Amino acid sequence: KAGVTQTPRYLIKTRGQQVTLSCSPISGHRSVSWYQQTPGQGLQFLFEYFSETQRNKGNFPGRFSGRQFSNSRSEMNVSTLELGDSALYLCASRPGTPQETQYFGPGTRLLVL
């Protein structure tokens, strides 16, 4: 089975721009979660999507949004980028039933200049 894939792997943007990141979960997995990882804050939960619906949300501003498609692929969008948005964005998928293990993708490294 192919693992979780994320595109692009690296991205450079400037302040004020917007960016869209993509995540393809493991086949058969219906839940996709997004995390932001920075050296100072560690791993912070952004949101989780299950069957095209946002099921959980972390404590991030409205500039961060996401969606999930019928094939379970998910996109994350960040508008009006700030320098502090520079981070590794990780996507994780799991089948969706309780107590399931999350499987992570390699991440997208975003640098905001």
Q: Which is nearer to another protein, 70 or 101 (CB)?
A: 101
**How many C-beta atoms lie closer than 10 Å to residue 106's C-beta?**
14
Inter-CA distances, 67 with 42, 84, 105, 112, Å: 24, 22, 17, 22
Q: Which is nearer to another protein, 50 or 79 (CB)?
A: 50
**106 prior amide bond cis, ω within 30:** no
| 58-87 footprint of another protein as x/- string (CB under 8 A) | ------------------------------
Of 23-62, binders to another protein (CB under 8 A) are: 31, 33, 35, 42-43, 45, 48, 50, 55-56
Q: Which residues are at the interface with another protein (CB under 8 A)?
A: 4, 6, 31, 33, 35, 42-43, 45, 48, 50, 55-56, 90, 92, 94, 96, 98-107
